Amino acid sequence: MEVSMFLNTLTPKFYVALTGTSSLISGLILIFEWWYFRKYGTSFIEQVSVSHLRPLLGGVDSSTPSTSNTSNGEADSNRQSVSECKVWRNPLNLFRGAEYNRYTWVTGREPLTYYDMNLSAQDHQTFFTCDSDHLRPADAVMQKAWRERNPQARISAAHEALEVEDCATAFILLAEEEATTIMEAERLFKQALKAGEGCYRRSQQLQHHGTQYEAQHRRDTNVLVYIKRRLAMCSRKLGRTREAVKMMRDLMKEFPLLSMFNIHENLLESLLELQNYADVQAVLAKYDDISLPKSATICYTAALLKARAVSDKFSPEAASRRGLSTAEMNAVEAIHRAVEFNPHVPKYLLEMKSLILPPEHILKRGDSEAIAYAFFHLQHWKRVEGALNLLHCTWEGTFRMIPYPLEKGHLFYPYPICTETADRELLPMFHEVSVYPKKELPFFILFTAGLCSFTAMLALLTHQFPELMGVFAKAFLSTLFAPLNFIMEKVESILPSSLWHQLTRI
């Protein structure tokens, strides 16, 4: 009776306020959930539930293995995850002063993230410094310069080092960050080469005199290789492609063990520019080996060469009637192999997604590697007649061969699940990161969207038809509370009236 009396006292304005407030709150939750999902790739409510509520409710902590076998399995899984998400130096990275900074001057946008630049600073300290830098006054100044976060402070320190003596690493820093044109950068790198070769020859003679001299020679070797590679890239950018190819070949012969710089990827791009496909095939035969790490450049260049043999005469209609020839089947399989390795590349090659400047570091099989590859190789695919058409017709067939990429792969290891997080750190905020496999919207976003829409509709109907909606609301609430009223009546009939009176007073 009391519930019925309370419901009768409610006015239509109360129902309008109730449904309107519910719609507003659920709408705000929906907006926040959508923003959080777009930024971090997960639902905030789900994340809080898994991270905080499950342990409180007695959920099993996955980080505490029950047996030693489980512990070993998780350790292997963690090691595989770390190796899969290792960030690599981009072999074709642009010049910070002559290219990245010019983009900033024109657009007002920063093409490099703090995380990417921090990785570059760590690389510079690893390659260009050693424990014996205090023996050379200029190198001691440069050791501090590489640790500076302010670009102007680094440039000032480089000029300070050059006042002491001709320092190769000081010239490198100025060529990378202060030079505003490629020609100016090349001039500085030539000065760096002259200074670097002198240091290299001196340290080469002393490298066996102790660990200190050995470390110094290793540092001087890294400096010399870096300078020669960047000089070759300057020649490539200035149109002297044959000269660049010769410099890269000589560098690879002189230092065959320094594969960390991936100079063969620079060589492949230059050979494709010359349309020297026989030499491209020879380089691929050496580096597209099962024992060597793969890259988008290796896989997609191999696919381009296979596609080049058939793409000019390829027709989807004719292929569907007569079937694929052996050469066409080889080309399609090569495309499927490349797409399985990095599924983000085709959308950039087919210009379904806009390109940005590539970062200084890339994640293999990730969106950052796809951008770096397509930025330099899109022109080579366009030059081969019909290659993009063949790619357009066949690349999506790869996903039919991989039922569920997160659980098993076909030609490569299963696609790592950590690429999205790393790519968001490497790529600027204004770029929409490509995600594979495409994530479905979390349940809580769909639930909140439905709740918001339902309550908004109720608020609108209550505002337009207050009397009718009041009747429906009272009938719904009466039905909802009917079991409770029935139980209360039974309790009143069973318990003595005096006892029931005392309980109600409590």
How confident is residue 505, by pLDDT bands cut at 50, 70 and 90?
A: low
CA distances from 153 to 98, 110, 148, 158 (A): 18, 19, 7, 9
Distance of alpha carbon 162 from the chain centroid? 38
Note the pTM of the prediction, 2 decimals.
0.70
Residue 56's pLDDT is: 56
Residue 372 — pLDDT band, cuts 50, 70, 90? very high
Q: What is the predicted pLDDT for the residue at 7?
A: 52
Q: What H or E segment, with its residue span, contains residue 87?
A: strand 87-89
Q: Is 345 a residue whose pLDDT tops 80?
A: yes
**pLDDT of the residue at 266:** 92
Mean pLDDT score across all residues of the chain:
79
More confident call, 228 vs 293: 228
Q: What local confidence, expressed as pLDDT, does residue 375 receive? A: 94
Higher pLDDT, 323 or 247: 247
Q: How confident is the model at residue 445, as a pLDDT?
A: 62
Phi, psi of 448 (to 5 degrees): -65, -40
**Residue 428: is its pLDDT beyond 50?**
yes
In contact, 366 and 373? CB cutoff 8 Å: no
Cβ-based neighbours of 277, under 8 Å, separated by 6 or more: 271, 305, 308
Out of 7-16, 285-294, 372-381, 455-464, pick the least confident. Answer: 7-16
pLDDT of 59 over the 50 cut? no
- For the record, the structure tokens of 188 come out as 């500085």
pLDDT at 269: 93
Q: Decide: residue 393, CB within 10 A, 0-12 exposed, 13-18 middle, 19+ buried.
A: middle
More confident call, 263 vs 9? 263
Q: Is the pLDDT of residue 75 over 70?
A: no
> pLDDT tens, 214-269?
888 888 888 999 999 999 999 999 999 999 999 999 998 888 776 667 889 999 99
Q: With pLDDT > 70 as the criterion, what percentage of the chain qualifies?
A: 74
pLDDT value of residue 185: 94
Tokens 């340290």 map to which residue? 203
| Whether the predicted pLDDT of 370 surpasses 60 | yes
Question: Phi, psi at residue 38, to the nearest 5°?
Answer: -65, -30
Paired tokens of 378: 């899109």
pLDDT band of 193, cuts 50, 70, 90 = very high
Of the segments 3-12, 214-223, 413-422, which one has the largest average pLDDT value?
Answer: 214-223
The more confident residue out of 318 and 237 is 237
CB burial of residue 404 (10 Å; 0-12, 13-18, 19+): exposed
Higher pLDDT, 357 or 402: 357
pLDDT for 24 equals: 75
- The backbone torsions φ and ψ at residue 479, rounded to the nearest 5 degrees and listed phi first, read -65, -40
Do residues 297 and 373 make contact, with C-beta atoms less than 8 angstroms apart? Answer: yes
Q: Over 70: is that where the pLDDT of 315 sits?
A: yes
- 204 has pLDDT over 90: no
- The yes-or-no verdict on residue 434 having pLDDT over 50 is yes
Measuring CA to CA, which residue among 302, 365, 354, 356 is closest to residue 332? Answer: 302
On the question of pLDDT at 318 being above 90, the answer is: no
Give the tokens for residue 240.
């002297």
pLDDT of residue 49: 63
Residue 129 is predicted with a pLDDT of: 85
pLDDT of residue 479: 80
Ranges 102-106, 116-120, 185-189, 408-412: which has the least confidence: 408-412
Does 190 or 466 have the greater pLDDT score? Answer: 190
Q: How confident is the model at residue 279 (pLDDT cuts 50, 70, 90)?
A: very high
| Residue 498, pLDDT score | 61
**pLDDT tens across 446-465, in order?**
666 676 777 777 777 776 77
Instruction: Using a pLDDT cut of 90, give the percent of the chain over it.
Output: 29
